[in-house]
Structure 1
Amino acid sequence: MESRRRLIFVCEGSDCKKEDSKGLRKSLEKELSSGEFKGQCKLIRTKCMDFCKSAPVVIIGDHVSKKTNLKKVIEQLKKS
């Protein structure tokens, strides 16, 4: 049986940091380590992704989530 992990990219550029991307990443780590997504996702920290006006930015698969929060990211994970 093949397992497929979803990749979640969290921008940690300066503008995203100002909008608390670090807090968002920590919340995501906590959420993904338990619950329905346990072992299904890989969280990757990135440098600036040039969406600075839309901070914080998270990319899930091919979906760019701008001005996002934990709730929006979890909703997108359930869709994909």
Structure 2
Amino acid sequence: MKHKRELVFVCSGSDCKKAGSKQLKKGLKKELSDGPWKGCCKLISTKCMDMCKSSPLAIVDNHFIKKADQSKVTLAIKKALDKQGS
């Protein structure tokens, strides 16, 4: 069975940028570009998602991750990829 790539959306609106979304995306890009994660995820920047009080915001596997940090997003990606394998 062929696995699809997991889409990871990171808000790049002004409030999310102030809250660290740029650094979040940079860290995720580095982490996802090598090792066992290579090629299984696509990182996508979005415009403002109007959830500024929860910034920075990310979406993985149709789940919103409020006040996202690298560990929360990485865990969500791992769960989504494990779910694909089941």
Scaled to the shorter chain, the TM-score interval is over 0.9
TM norm structure 1: 0.94
Cα-Cα RMSD = 1.0
Corresponding pairs, count: 80
Rounded to whole Å, the distance in 1 between the matches of 2:3 and 2:9 is 19
| Uncovered stretches (5+) of structure 2, i.e. residues with no partner | 81-86
Q: Give the C-alpha shift of residue 40 in structure 1.
A: 0.2
| Uncovered stretches (5+) of structure 1, i.e. residues with no partner | none
Partner residue in 1 for 2:25: 25
Q: Give the C-alpha shift of residue 37 in structure 1.
A: 1.1
Q: Deviations over 1:15-55 (max 9, x none)?
A: 00000100000000000001221100000000100110000
Q: Give the C-alpha shift of residue 2 in structure 1.
A: 2.5
Partner residue in 2 for 1:36: 36
Partner residue in 1 for 2:14: 14
TM norm structure 2: 0.88
Partner residue in 2 for 1:77: 77
Partner residue in 2 for 1:54: 54
